[in-house]
C-alpha cells in the first residue's frame, strides 16, 4: 500500500479514508520538518520572556491569567493532557480515532503550532504501528477543539492511558510503546495545547461520512428505480427535459441514474400503453425521488466543500503566524462543521423516510398493483415482509430524532470563558448513527423491491435492476415461504454498506453519478 505523505500539501478525502480504514502508512516530508522546526524556534524564544504568553507560560481557559514559572512548565503540559483526558462512555470507533490522529498530524506539519518534529513523529509512529488510543464517546463540546478525544491521543504518546493494537487487544500505553519500540515523549512548552486545540474529530467523521453518503445516495437511486419498476411506476417523469426545468445539479444526477437503471425494462414496457394503465401520476415517493435524493446530494456537495476548506486550515490557539507572531484566535470553534454535520443528518433521515414509504407500498394490496399481500407466499399463513417494514419504520423514527440539530445547543464551560460552544462532536456522532440507519433502511427496500420485481414473472426486469437482484440473490434467497428474516436483512445491510448494489449495476450500465 502506498505511503500517504504528510506535509504542506492538502490531504485528499481518499487519503484520510485509506489511513483511517485501511491502515495505509504515513510519512512526514522534509519541508514539513523544516516548518515545524522554524515555528518551534519561535516558541522557545518566548520561553524566557517575563511577559506571559498563552499556552507557553500561562494556565489555560479561565486559568490563563496565571503566569507559570519556567520550572513548572513541563508539569503544566503534562497536567493539561492528564486533566483534559476526561472522556467517558463507549469507545469511539478505531477509524474515527485514526482519522482524528491523522488530521492532527497534518495540522502539526503545517508549522503553525510550534511543536517539535519529534511530536509529529510519534503520531506517525502510532498510525504506522496500528496502535489506536482509547477514546470515549463523551468529552468534546466542539469548541477549543475536540479537547477530551484529542487529549486521550496525546496522553498515549507520553506513555499514559490505553491503546488497542490491530488485533483489538487493549494494552496500557507504556507497554504498547515498548512492544512496538516507540519512545514516549515528554511534552515541552506549548506542545500539550497544540495537540488538543483542533476540530480534527469532527472533521474526520465528516470526511468519512461524505464517502459513505456518496455511495448510499447512489444506492438510494438504485433502490428507487427497483421500486418504480416493481410497483409498475413510470419513468417518464425522470425525462431530462422535465428535470432541466428545475436545474438543481443533484436532481439532474439522480434522475439520470433512475433513467439508466430502468432502461429496456420489459416490466415498464408492459404498461406503457395509456389504454392499459389507468393511473395518471405515481405517488410522491416514486415520482419525486430525484427531487429528494438530489437535494440530499446538493447538501452533501456543500458539506464536502466545507470539509475541503478545513483540510486547508491550521487550527490551534495560539497559532504561530507565517511572519513569526504568536497570536490567539477563535479558529477552533466547530460551527462550520457542526452545521453541515447536522444538515447531513436531516438529509439522511428524509431519504430514509422516502425509502420506507416505497417499501410500504409494496406490501399493501390496495397500492401494489396486483402483488400478493405483504409479498407473502401464502398470505395469512405467511407474513412476507410485513415486519421488515416495521423494522424500517423503527429505524426511520430514530433517524428523525437524530435529525434534531446538535449545533443549536450550547452549554457554557470553563467558568464562562468558553461561553458559546458548537456541539459539533455531538453532531458528528449522531450522523454516524444516521448513516448506519440509512444503510439498514435501503437494505430492506432492496430486499422488498427485488421480491416484488421477481413476483412480476414472467415479465423480466431491466438489465441493470436484474444485475442488482442477481448479486443480492448470491446472499439471500428469493420469494417463497417465510424464512428467518433477520439474517437476510443483515446480509443485505452488508451488501449495501460495501457498495454491492452500485457495483452490480455499474457492470451493466457504466458508472452511476
Instruction: Let me know: does 100 contact 127? Beta carbons within 8 Å.
Output: no
Q: What is the number of other CB atoms lying within 10 angstroms of the CB of residue 442?
A: 29
Helices (H), 112-146: 117-129
Instruction: Let me know: does 383 contact 374? Beta carbons within 8 Å.
Output: yes
Instruction: Let me know: does 200 contact 104? Beta carbons within 8 Å.
Output: yes
Residues composing the chain: 513
3-state secondary structure of 258: helix
Q: What are the residues whose beta carbons fall under 8 Å from the beta carbon of 287, sequence distance 6 or more?
A: 233, 237, 281
CA dihedral 203, 208, 210, 216 (to 10 degrees): -160
E-strand ranges in 19-146 read 26-28, 88-91, 132-133, 136-138
DSSP class of residue 18 equals H
54 included as an active-site residue: yes
The residue annotated as part of the active site, out of 23, 54, 138, 180, is 54
Phi, psi of 23 (to 5 degrees): 60, 35
Cα(130)–Cα(300) distance, integer angstroms: 30
Cα(425)–Cα(210) distance, integer angstroms: 16
CA angle 368, 352, 258 (to 5 degrees): 65
Q: What DSSP assignment string belongs to 174-242?
A: HHHHHHTT-------TTHHHHHHSS-HHHHHHHHHHHHHHHHHHHHHHHHHHHHHHHTT--SGGG-HHH
Task: Show which residues are catalytic.
Answer: 54
Amino acid at each position: 500500500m502506498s505511503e500517504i505523505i504528510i506535509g504542506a500539501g492538502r490531504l485528499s478525502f481518499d487519503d484520510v479514508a485509506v489511513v483511517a480504514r485501511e491502515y495505509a502508512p504515513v510519512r512526514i516530508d522534509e519541508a514539513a520538518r523544516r516548518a515545524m522546526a522554524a515555528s518551534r524556534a519561535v516558541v522557545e524564544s518566548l520561553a524566557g520572556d517575563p511577559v506571559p504568553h498563552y499556552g507557553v507560560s500561562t494556565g489555560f481557559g479561565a486559568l490563563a491569567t496565571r503566569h507559570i514559572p519556567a520550572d513548572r512548565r513541563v508539569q503544566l503540559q503534562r497536567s493539561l493532557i492528564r486533566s483534559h483526558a476526561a472522556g467517558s462512555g463507549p469507545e469511539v470507533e478505531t477509524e474515527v480515532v485514526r482519522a482524528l490522529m491523522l488530521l492532527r498530524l497534518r495540522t502539526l506539519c503545517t508549522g503553525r503550532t510550534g511543536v517539535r518534529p519529534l511530536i509529529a513523529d510519534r503520531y506517525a509512529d502510532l498510525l504506522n504501528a496500528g496502535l489506536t488510543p482509547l477514546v470515549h464517546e463523551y468529552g468534546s463540546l466542539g469548541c477549543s477543539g475536540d479537547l477530551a478525544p484529542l487529549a486521550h491521543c496525546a496522553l498515549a504518546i507520553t506513555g499514559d492511558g490505553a491503546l488497542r493494537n490491530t488485533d483489538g487487544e487493549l494494552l496500557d500505553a507504556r507497554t504498547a510503546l515498548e512492544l512496538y519500540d516507540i519512545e514516549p515523549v515528554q511534552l515541552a512548552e506549548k506542545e500539550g495545547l497544540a495537540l488538543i486545540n483542533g476540530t480534527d474529530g469532527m472533521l474526520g467523521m465528516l470526511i468519512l461520512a461524505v464517502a459513505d453518503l456518496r455511495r448510499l445516495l447512489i444506492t438510494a437511486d438504485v433502490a428507487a428505480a427497483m421500486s418504480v419498476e416493481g410497483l409498475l411506476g413510470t419513468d417518464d417523469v425522470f425525462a431530462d427535459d422535465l428535470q432541466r426545468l428545475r436545474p438543481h445539479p443533484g436532481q439532474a444526477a439522480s434522475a439520470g441514474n433512475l433513467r439508466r437503471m430502468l432502461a429496456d425494462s420489459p416490466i415498464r414496457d408492459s404498461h406503457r400503453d395509456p389504454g392499459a394503465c389507468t393511473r395518471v401520476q405515481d405517488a410522491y415517493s416514486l415520482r419525486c425521488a430525484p427531487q429528494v435524493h438530489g437535494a440530499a446530494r446538493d447538501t452533501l456537495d456543500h458539506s464536502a466543500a466545507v470539509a475541503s476548506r478545513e483540510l486547508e486550515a491550521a487550527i490551534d490557539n495560539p497559532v504561530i503566524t507565517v511572519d513569526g507572531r504568536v497570536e490567539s484566535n477563535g479558529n477552533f470553534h466547530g460551527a462550520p462543521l457542526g452545521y453541515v454535520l447536522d444538515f447531513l443528518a436531516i438529509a439522511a433521515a428524509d431519504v430514509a423516510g422516502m425509502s420506507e414509504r416505497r417499501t410500504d407500498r409494496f406490501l399493501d394490496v390496495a397500492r401494489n398493483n396486483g402483488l400478493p399481500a405483504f409479498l407473502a407466499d401464502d398470505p395469512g399463513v405467511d407474513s412476507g415482509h410485513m415486519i421488515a417494514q416495521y423494522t424500517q419504520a423503527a429505524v426511520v423514527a430514530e433517524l428523525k430524532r437524530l435529525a434534531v440539530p446538535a449545533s443549536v445547543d450550547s452549554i457554557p464551560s470553563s467558568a464562562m470563558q468558553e461561553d458559546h460552544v458548537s456541539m459539533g462532536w455531538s453532531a458528528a456522532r449522531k450522523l454516524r448513527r444516521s448513516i448506519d440507519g440509512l444503510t439498514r433502511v435501503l437494505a430492506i427496500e432492496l430486499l422488498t423491491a427485488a421480491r416484488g420485481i421477481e413476483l412480476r414473472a414472467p415479465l423480466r426486469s431491466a438489465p441493470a435492476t436484474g444485475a442488482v437482484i442477481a448479486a443480492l440473490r448470491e446472499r439471500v434467497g428469493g420469494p417463497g415461504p417465510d424464512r428467518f428474516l433477520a439474517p437476510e436483512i443483515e446480509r443485505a445491510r452488508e451488501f449495501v454498506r460495501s457498495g454491492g448494489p452500485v457495483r452490480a449495476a455499474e457492470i451493466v450500465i457504466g458508472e452511476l453519478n
